[in-house]
Structure 1
Amino acid sequence: MPRVLTEADVADFRERLCGAAERLFAEKGPDAVTMRQLAAELGVSPMTPYRYFRDKDDILAAVRTNGFNRFAEALETARAAAKGARAKGAAVGEAYVDFAFEHPHTYKLMFDLNQPHEAEYPELVEAGKRARTTMSAYVKDLVADGVLAGDPEQIGVMFWAAAHGAVVLELAGKLPAGAARDLHRAMNSAIARGLRPGA
């Protein structure tokens, strides 16, 4: 008779499976990875992953959900720890770049992939919204303090696009190591100068 799995057993296996999937998805691309490969990576039978996830898309959604939540937590923590609107903005920007380079596989799966039928994964949708919120919350601080003028959501997307572009260029080998951080800071300064009240 098979052993009855506890909630802790289920959570542990799901976490191990998501860890293996994150690496394989990033290395080979999600379409090239099979459930059989994921099972082999963990040394379990080919049917075992199906006890925990419906299919590969379900695993991919779980990996991306976890990534968005970890990313959002890093940015939220950076904002909460800083004092003053300018310091909060700088801290969030640094946390963004740190996360991208400390977790490049996660970052690629989060932002460089458009998962079909995303609405079928409400936890993924919520995690994506949470991450998006972190990229405009600090801008609201800057606008409220009169440092910047404009729509915080739109400004947040500008800063996000600048950060993402610099990060992806370095991850793709188009910029030398460390250049993305310097470029990111320079672009943020340029955008901020153009958005100062009366500019």
Structure 2
Amino acid sequence: MPRVLTESDVADFRDRLCEVAEQLFAERGPEAVTMRQLASALGVSPMTPYRYFKDKDDILAAVRTAGFDRFAEALEVAYAQPGDARARGAAVGEAYVTFAFEHPQTYKLMFDMYQPNEADYPELARSANRARATMSQYVRSLVESGHLVGDPVRIGEMFWATTHGCIVLEMVGKLPPGGARKLIAEVIPAISRGLRPTA
């Protein structure tokens, strides 16, 4: 008679499966990874993953959800640091870059991978929206304190696009190691100068 799985057993296996999936998805792309390969990497039968996830898209959504939540938490912790709006904004920017380079596989899956039927995964939508909100929250503080003028969400998207682009350029070898941080440190202030209140 099969052992009855506890909630802890289920959670532990799901976490292990997601950890293996994250690595394989990032290395090969989700389309090149099969459920059988995931099972083999864990040393379980080919049907075992189906006891925990509906299919491969379900696993990808779980991996990306966890990634967005960890990313958002890192930005939220940075934003909660003491200091004025500019200091907290700088802390959020540094936390963003640090997360990307300390967790490149996670970052790639979060932002560079397509999620089929994303609307079918409300937890993924929630975590992605949480991360997106953290990328405009600090900008809202800069606008409210008079350092910048404009729509905080739109400005946050501009900073996000710039930061992401620099990070990806370094990740694919188009910028030298450390080049993303250097370029971000030059471009973000240049953008900010155009968004400052006029005298």
TM-score (structure 1 length as normaliser): 0.99
Aligned to 2:46: 46
- 1:125-170 deviation digits (Å, cap 9, x = unpaired): 0001000000000000000100000000000000000000000000
Aligned to 1:78: 78
Deviation at 1:82, TM superposition (A): 3.5
**Distance in 2 between residues matched to 1:20 and 1:57, nearest whole Å:** 15
**Distance in 1 between residues matched to 2:14 and 2:191, nearest whole Å:** 42
Aligned to 1:179: 179
Q: How does 1:1-199 map to 2 (within 5 A)?
A: 1-198=1-198
- 1:80-111 deviation digits (Å, cap 9, x = unpaired): 01311000110000000000000000001100
Deviation at 1:114, TM superposition (A): 2.1
Deviation at 1:25, TM superposition (A): 0.2
Deviation at 1:185, TM superposition (A): 1.4
**Distance in 2 between residues matched to 1:131 and 1:36, nearest whole Å:** 32
Structure 1 window deviating more from structure 2 (131-140 vs 75-84): it is 75-84
- 4+ residue segments displaced more than 3 Å: none
**Distance in 2 between residues matched to 1:47 and 1:144, nearest whole Å:** 54
Deviation at 1:39, TM superposition (A): 0.4
Q: Which runs of 5+ in 1 are unaligned?
A: none
**Distance in 2 between residues matched to 1:145 and 1:64, nearest whole Å:** 34
Aligned partner letter, 2:155: I
Where 1:81 maps in the other structure, the secondary structure is: coil
Q: Which runs of 5+ in 2 are unaligned?
A: none
Deviation at 1:188, TM superposition (A): 1.1
Does the 8 Å contact 1:136/1:155 carry over to 2?
yes
Does the 8 Å contact 1:166/1:180 carry over to 2?
yes
Aligned partner letter, 1:53: F
**Distance in 2 between residues matched to 1:80 and 1:70, nearest whole Å:** 15
**Distance in 2 between residues matched to 1:47 and 1:193, nearest whole Å:** 57
**Distance in 2 between residues matched to 1:163 and 1:191, nearest whole Å:** 12
